[in-house]
Structure 1
Amino acid sequence: MDSSGIYVGLDIGTTSIKIIIAEYVKKQLNIIGYGNTRSAGLNRGVIVDIDQTVGAIRDAIKQAEQRANFEIRDVVVGIPANLLEIEKCHGMIAVSQADGKSKEITDEDVYEVTQAALVQSLPPERDVIDIIPDEFVVNGLDGIKDPRGMEGVRLEMRAVMYTGPKTILHNIKKCIEKAGLHIRETVVAPLASAHLALNEGEQDFGSIVIDMGGGQTTAAVIHDHKLKYTYVDQEGGDFVTRDISVVLNTSVENAEQLKVTYGYALSSLADKDNKFPVQVVGQQDPEEVSENYLAQIIEARLQQIFTKLATALDKVNALSLPGGIILTGGMTAIPGIEELAEDIFGVHVKKFVPQEMNLRSPAFTQVIGLVDYVTSENEIERVVKSSLGTADFEQATTYDEDDSYGDEPDTVQLPPQPKKPKKKKNKDKRPGGLRSLFSNFFD
């Protein structure tokens, strides 16, 4: 089965929707177009308004199609790890002929044994996202990666199945269909990010990928090239922006700009003497704030996020994996985040940034990873996944936040606002040390 051709990846994030169009020829992936637009209709990684999300997807489609001069029809879409469950499954079928003699195993037999593996009691509110074969067993002989062409009377498959809430899957499909697209394949988003961000050794011996988006932060544990565990913290870059807005009494738009222009994740790296003007709500003249104080606000929230992740990862002994932690996602573009993460997790931390032209930002890791993942699938994996194409989605509904999403994150302990001098502000004061930080790519 030839994987050459055009692939389109779609990443539906809380703060931005990204699309890439890539050409895969001779095992080389070349990005020929991309779209990146502000999200609408999502909350903490979950679609809550289908029509708004459809509009944002269409905007991203238009951008990508104009850049690539290509009409998008099929997309590979990432499914967030919210309430993801990872479980083993097993299927077995007879492949003998009518007279009981063995016969050669074909694609159809692999398809049928996959269907047998999928026939197990799933709760009515869950559906299958993906299934990945571990091994096949022919006539009791195990450890087989591809049974096609072999002869046998009994075929078994042992696999890993990823399931998620039907509502999340249904709403994603509904949005894509209303945008005029067809789902080519669904991929568990952390698995795609890890496939791109980790090298062979890190995937084999074990590593942790932390994807820091705008609406949430996802930790994924990879070992033996498999996704073993995920943890989602319902806090991300938007919460950092909100903290800045509240403490400095400025608009959310101003807070975001301050974060990407002057922000540090570690206050010890920021200069106390380097100050910049902040437009305060209800005041005509701006107030001066130091880089160090802004960094204290950012660091407080990031410490809370990382501490929660460290607690969850420690419970499954993931922090002992030799590959350490790889940070990616839009929020990781902020300076000092690797140093802060190392202080809290106590393991080696590095940041992954894609190197594709025009997309050299960690915010694009997931969408590039989606295409990179599906183009690297082998033939037997494609045959197995073809069984999922018959899955029947229930009617889509808007997401009704339950306890998993409805609770507000714990209030972060922010630094006290320093007392303001009563002297008149100098309107001509100019900021120093301006640093431009890919403001359009914070996810």
Structure 2
Amino acid sequence: MKLFIGKRSSLLDDLVVSLDIGSTTIRVVIAEYNTSGKLHIVGWGSAPSKGVRVGVITNMEEAIKAVSSAISAAEQMAGRTVTHLYTGIAGGSIECYNSKGVVAVTDRGKEITTHDVDRVLEAAKALVIPLDRQILHVIPQEYTIDGQSGIYDPVNMIGVRLEAEVHIITCSLTSTDNIVKCVNRGNYYVNEIVLESLAVSECVLTRDEKELGVLLIDIGGGTTDVLLHYGGAPYYTNVVPMGGDIFTNDISKVLNTPILSAENIKLREGCCVASYVDSESEIIIPGIAGRPPLTVTKTYLAEIIEARACEMFNIIGTELRRKGFGDKYPGGVVLTGGSSLLPGIADLATEILGVQTRIGLPQGVSGLTEELRHPGFSTAVGLVSFIGKKNKNTVIKRKDLDSSGPKKENLFKRVFKHFI
């Protein structure tokens, strides 16, 4: 499937534009390369999300208007015109597998080349997936040479048998087609679609956390994305169909108040741990259709939110144990996404999952304003960071090509294959 229509911009253009199509908010970040070759954020924009539910486009026309509005706001701030962009995907269409490939080394001297690496990754991709799905990413976890494991770059090493363990991320063709169509209808073009949780990990997780083992939980509006890094590579990905909106819906139903009122109450008075709240404090719930307002304690409101948050973390923990990864994140849990700012949610995650938890804020890219240092912008900023790292690798490999001639051609191709 083509991810763009018309002439595609170069991966090394001076602009990197990210688009986060969230269930509650559409966010766009524009970054450009400075004189030192590093990305610097020059503009951003956001718009209320319409036509999107639990990470899936449900109304094309409304989604197009929301996306165009967010991009226009970012263009005005940056003073630049956007034509091509990178966007993320999440939601229930994501499925992931851990796979393994084995090949014999072809070089007579038994020196492993980039061609051998390409072959073993292709062998690892030999999975039977439904016709309505496609492979989005193939990420190497580690290589094994003649039984010696724990190798992360086998090129130029000596051996006769090369094995690769990889994490394969697949997605629904329908979901990606709808994202591309939505962007194209706004007269913009998609360079690449990236798994959102993979992008987020680039700007909120540290290298030490990834090596030790860390669980990223991105609590969005409609879904919660889960990504486990272990030994520096992803091993487990999941999407829980629960997010910040479900807290709002519960408040709305239990307290008989409109969604907008429930959202305001959640943001203003919400807490995820009832014992943290003054049991005597009260809040007034506005009445509807002429009905008198309702007075409830803050403890009661916190109990409503805590019950659903406990359910969400228990689902995550149960699935991790079922897959055999219950002890693979000694580096702790990192919460991000808009709902990660609810008071007490980090402590609740620590209690249920049994490891230390912190709130992850976007970092690692210059030009971050106070507004962008917010968990809600983790995906949009993470996409910029992810693409910037990929482009940096491309520049390095391209320089190798220029200096070493055709011998390095496969190395340049390999950069792209590792990320698609």
> Fold-level match, TM-score > 0.5?
yes
**Which residue identity lines up with residue 354 of structure 1 in the other structure?**
P
1:383 and 2:391 are equivalent in the alignment: no
2:213–2:228 contact (8 Å) kept in structure 1 = yes
1:362 and 2:370 are equivalent in the alignment: no
1:111–1:386 contact (8 Å) kept in structure 2 = no
**Which residue identity lines up with residue 11 of structure 1 in the other structure?**
D
> For each residue in 1:327-364, what CA deviation from the matched residue of structure 2 results, as whole angstroms up to 9, or x when unmatched?
11111111111111112222111111225212121111
Q: 1:289 to 1:158 in 2, by over 3 A?
A: closer
Alpha-carbon distance in structure 1 between the residues aligned to 2:266 and 2:412: 43
The answer for the alignment partner of 1:405 in structure 2 is none
**Which residue identity lines up with residue 176 of structure 1 in the other structure?**
V
What runs of 5+ residues in structure 2 fail to find an aligned partner? 1-9, 398-410
**Which residue identity lines up with residue 84 of structure 1 in the other structure?**
E
The answer for the alignment partner of 2:408 in structure 1 is none
> For each residue in 1:184-235, what CA deviation from the matched residue of structure 2 results, as whole angstroms up to 9, or x when unmatched?
2222111111222111111111110111111011221111222111222211
CA displacement at 1:277 relative to structure 2: 2.3
1:77–1:187 contact (8 Å) kept in structure 2 = yes
Alpha-carbon distance in structure 1 between the residues aligned to 2:65 and 2:154: 43
The answer for the alignment partner of 1:31 in structure 2 is 41
Quick check: which has more Rg, 1 or 2?
Answer: 1
1:86 pairs, out of 85, 97, 100, with 97
1:132 and 2:145 are equivalent in the alignment: no
Matched position secondary structure for 1:164 = strand
The answer for the alignment partner of 1:350 in structure 2 is 358
Matches within 5 A, 1:207-222: 207-222=214-229
Aligned length: 385
Alpha-carbon distance in structure 1 between the residues aligned to 2:379 and 2:296: 35
1:145 pairs, out of 148, 153, 158, with 153
1:240–1:298 contact (8 Å) kept in structure 2 = yes
The answer for the alignment partner of 1:337 in structure 2 is 345
Alpha-carbon distance in structure 2 between the residues aligned to 1:69 and 1:274: 48
1:310 pairs, out of 284, 304, 317, with 317
**Which residue identity lines up with residue 53 of structure 1 in the other structure?**
A
Q: 1:178 to 1:292 in 2, by over 3 A?
A: same
Q: 1:323 to 1:24 in 2, by over 3 A?
A: farther
Alpha-carbon distance in structure 1 between the residues aligned to 2:167 and 2:120: 14
1:22 pairs, out of 31, 40, 48, with 31
Q: TM-score, normalised by structure 2?
A: 0.79
Percent of aligned positions with the same letter in both sequences? 32
1:238 and 2:248 are equivalent in the alignment: no
Choose 38-47 or 1-10, whichever is displaced more.
1-10
2:138–2:166 contact (8 Å) kept in structure 1 = yes
CA displacement at 1:123 relative to structure 2: 2.1
Matched position secondary structure for 1:376 = helix
Matched position secondary structure for 2:284 = strand
The answer for the alignment partner of 2:333 in structure 1 is 325
Alpha-carbon distance in structure 1 between the residues aligned to 2:264 and 2:32: 35
Choose 176-185 or 378-387, whichever is displaced more.
378-387
Choose 275-284 or 342-351, whichever is displaced more.
275-284
The answer for the alignment partner of 1:300 in structure 2 is 307
2:72 pairs, out of 58, 62, 68, with 62
Choose 7-16 or 174-183, whichever is displaced more.
174-183
Alpha-carbon distance in structure 1 between the residues aligned to 2:325 and 2:147: 34
Q: TM-score, normalised by structure 1?
A: 0.75
What runs of 5+ residues in structure 1 fail to find an aligned partner? 392-443
Choose 39-48 or 134-143, whichever is displaced more.
134-143
Alpha-carbon distance in structure 1 between the residues aligned to 2:142 and 2:301: 52
Alpha-carbon distance in structure 2 between the residues aligned to 1:269 and 1:224: 36
> For each residue in 1:79-131, what CA deviation from the matched residue of structure 2 results, as whole angstroms up to 9, or x when unmatched?
215332234365979999xxx99999789x98898778767643212101123
CA displacement at 1:50 relative to structure 2: 2.2
Alpha-carbon distance in structure 2 between the residues aligned to 1:49 and 1:214: 17
Q: 1:128 to 1:2 in 2, by over 3 A?
A: closer
**Which residue identity lines up with residue 184 of structure 1 in the other structure?**
N
1:268 pairs, out of 265, 275, 280, with 275
1:208–1:324 contact (8 Å) kept in structure 2 = yes
The answer for the alignment partner of 2:403 in structure 1 is none
The answer for the alignment partner of 1:397 in structure 2 is none
> For each residue in 1:293-324, what CA deviation from the matched residue of structure 2 results, as whole angstroms up to 9, or x when unmatched?
21111111111111111211222343422111
**Which residue identity lines up with residue 85 of structure 1 in the other structure?**
C
The answer for the alignment partner of 2:182 in structure 1 is 175
Q: 1:382 to 1:369 in 2, by over 3 A?
A: farther
> For each residue in 1:214-261, what CA deviation from the matched residue of structure 2 results, as whole angstroms up to 9, or x when unmatched?
101122111122211122221111111011111111110000001001
